[in-house]
Structure 1
């Protein structure tokens, strides 16, 4: 790939796990509106639940999540008390007959919870929501937290997918990001999960980290492959110290440049594909028999706040501080400040502070951007059929983009706007061309490769 081409198309743009993106949320969506959306859910609706645990016993410098470090369990216990109350309130407001088909525990570090609290959290959820018999339960795992008791508790709550944050196995890189985690720790944690019946393991790997080199990344990918994960998420490190102050602990001069980042991404992806993994969207890889790979081949791949998913639920309910929910009507976000979240839940059971009301044009553009991110293109006929009377402007924008695309990132053939192999690494950049809100200048974003 031409270095100049990479530099031209690597400008900061959103990751598009939602559209519109979070910087465009406002106080227009409050607890009252959120409650009305919950009440509108009906029998037959499929729900996905996300529960956020905003605590870690160490703070990784690379992390951009809403989390805080604690060496005491008291704050965690107080938080769980509020979370259980929110679960009861939200479950009580949710329309009768909707069923939960997926549950995701994220953070922070959910595996920081004591075994009895993991079990109590799942019991509270099943008490107030109707769970489908084959519900997927995925948990973000930190091997440093795990012991036999926690592994047993995770099995007891029905965990079906374990997602292990690895990032990089190189000791120098780990020291620079404050994430010390040996290969042996990770291997033992994965084996313990599989021994208790977990049928799907995901590993997160980062490129673009401080002091990371091509050779060190190759060693990490080789080590990850030896663990035989079912999925691998290959993310580019997002350096956003203006938003996450602790990232200032990472010296900017230690970070690889944009061209080097692109080369790291390409080499890691090549190794995964050679090893038999199917590329999924812009940054996921899965074994061909994995449900994510099957969904991708069948055109059922979706993208939400956790990344690429085969979760078919249209509604996502976010629980906990900073958690974001997605409804037909729009988005809703809980207070990101843990103290304010606790106060809101204690006073009224809900803690929504902002969100977004979708317009017909938003729904159209959200669909187009999702198709670009998931399928690398969209059919004009398909969009016109899904959005009768609304699609003309977006189709014209696609034609204009192609006419101005001197680098050959896109093509239009048989009424389909698609990304070429040359353009696929820049899917975020192409998607941004259909983002009607990006021009407002709200929010700063990470580079596109």
Structure 2
């Protein structure tokens, strides 16, 4: 058990580090012109991962912090798809067909809100514009309430390989409090249907720290999840950020567990997953030993991007759609988040990038250190010197100073390697923040680290 004083001290508000520099430090000095140049620089031998954002839901979950909007009409989606198709065409034209697409992820919002014919048409546009590897992974975030036989068939037609289901918690009281009604039977049916149609992997998301959630209620949810035998499980802490997402004000503050209760919930659920044979991955993922993510973690190939932990080692991540973020060798760009503005930008130039950041030499080495802390709970000094030469020395010196000055045994230096202890692993985000040169001067607000 972790001492309550340590929880209070280190479970502070810090970034999730799905990028470095983090998105609050993007600026308007980077836009469509920079993005076009960076896309045009992609070439033969390089690989691309595509992220497609569908920012619509037919119900709005109170816990959600995604860029999405509620609609019960399909007309806004039709209009949005027209702009998205245009952005796909322009982006593919700039990137060319020499770089290979190795992964596609449809996220949201609720991608499964799309009509079956639109699901197929969207993938057809992507394949027409980009060059795909034969074994490209196709993953889709799914809302069981949207799915029916024609949509299952459409997902099979586009080559779905991985299904991602947000469960959160099966308890009716918790579901009511977060406006996410989804029965176990519905979820089980989705798992069965996608597997029947050829999906080789299923991922389920669980949240702890939800309103009115108790350890016992969460235990029942984990039991139900385990009965489905998903290949991966993500165990996320609910991020209560009502200053960013106004609909989270629908969740009363006094209904939320405190940091000690959150830790108890997380520890219990993690122990259940490990006992069931899942390998812990980074700070919040679990995978069966034969899953590609577990293999990547054992081999030191685990990566982290805007989708969280991933096996995706592509040279560039191209985000398509409103609010989506692209990660290229030169830096990051983000599209306009407002759907109307996104559509206007695309109609004018084919692109919608409105902010971003170009990486400096210091950014690159810090990004590498932070990613390895988040993925491997440490980093090798020799590896850092190999990859960054003289630029590595400053970060190595910072690591040594932190180890020497930290009296809580969060990290050590062992065999020329900075390593987090078992206690330190719980606070990996807080340790990563030590190497974030933007963090202390930033004005962004973040969710707590446990």
Which position in structure 2 is the counterpart of 1:308? 309
Deviation at 1:384, TM superposition (A): 1.2
Unpaired segments ≥5 residues, structure 2: none
Which position in structure 2 is the counterpart of 1:248? 249
- Secondary structure in 2 matching 1:391: helix
Q: TM-score, normalised by structure 1?
A: 0.99
Which position in structure 1 is the counterpart of 2:206? 205
- Secondary structure in 2 matching 1:48: strand
* Distance in 2, Cα, partners of 1:51 & 1:226: 31
Q: Deviations over 1:274-304 (max 9, x none)?
A: 0000000000000000000000001100000
- Secondary structure in 2 matching 1:77: helix
Contact kept, 8 Å, 2:374 with 2:428, in 1: the verdict is yes
- Secondary structure in 2 matching 1:402: helix
Which position in structure 2 is the counterpart of 1:394? 395
* Distance in 1, Cα, partners of 2:97 & 2:55: 30
Q: TM-score, normalised by structure 2?
A: 0.99
Contact kept, 8 Å, 1:380 with 1:415, in 2: the verdict is yes
- Secondary structure in 2 matching 1:435: coil
- Secondary structure in 1 matching 2:422: coil
* Distance in 2, Cα, partners of 1:53 & 1:443: 25
Report runs of 4+ in structure 1 exceeding 3 Å deviation: none
Deviation at 1:441, TM superposition (A): 2.2
Which position in structure 2 is the counterpart of 1:76? 77
Q: Deviations over 1:115-136 (max 9, x none)?
A: 0000000000001000110000
Which position in structure 2 is the counterpart of 1:105? 106
Contact kept, 8 Å, 2:53 with 2:109, in 1: the verdict is yes
* Distance in 1, Cα, partners of 2:97 & 2:187: 42
Contact kept, 8 Å, 1:44 with 1:97, in 2: the verdict is yes
Which position in structure 1 is the counterpart of 2:258? 257
* Distance in 2, Cα, partners of 1:171 & 1:257: 21
Which position in structure 2 is the counterpart of 1:354? 355
Contact kept, 8 Å, 1:41 with 1:96, in 2: the verdict is no
* Distance in 2, Cα, partners of 1:282 & 1:209: 18
- Secondary structure in 1 matching 2:45: coil
Contact kept, 8 Å, 1:152 with 1:196, in 2: the verdict is yes
* Distance in 2, Cα, partners of 1:239 & 1:169: 19
Contact kept, 8 Å, 1:17 with 1:303, in 2: the verdict is yes
Which position in structure 1 is the counterpart of 2:131? 130
Deviating more after overlay: 400-409 vs 227-236: 400-409
Asked whether 1:60 is paired with 2:61, we answer yes
Which position in structure 2 is the counterpart of 1:182? 183
Contact kept, 8 Å, 1:24 with 1:442, in 2: the verdict is no
Aligned residues: CA RMSD: 0.6
Deviation at 1:168, TM superposition (A): 0.3
Which position in structure 2 is the counterpart of 1:159? 160
Q: Deviations over 1:170-211 (max 9, x none)?
A: 000000000000000000011000000101000000000000
Which position in structure 2 is the counterpart of 1:446? 447
* Distance in 1, Cα, partners of 2:443 & 2:336: 19
* Distance in 2, Cα, partners of 1:440 & 1:422: 27
Contact kept, 8 Å, 2:83 with 2:343, in 1: the verdict is yes
Which position in structure 2 is the counterpart of 1:266? 267
Asked whether 1:193 is paired with 2:194, we answer yes
Which position in structure 2 is the counterpart of 1:378? 379
Match runs of 1:109-120 below 5 Å: 109-120=110-121
Contact kept, 8 Å, 1:43 with 1:95, in 2: the verdict is no
* Distance in 2, Cα, partners of 1:23 & 1:411: 30
Contact kept, 8 Å, 2:13 with 2:448, in 1: the verdict is yes
Asked whether 1:406 is paired with 2:404, we answer no
Contact kept, 8 Å, 1:50 with 1:319, in 2: the verdict is yes
Deviation at 1:96, TM superposition (A): 3.8
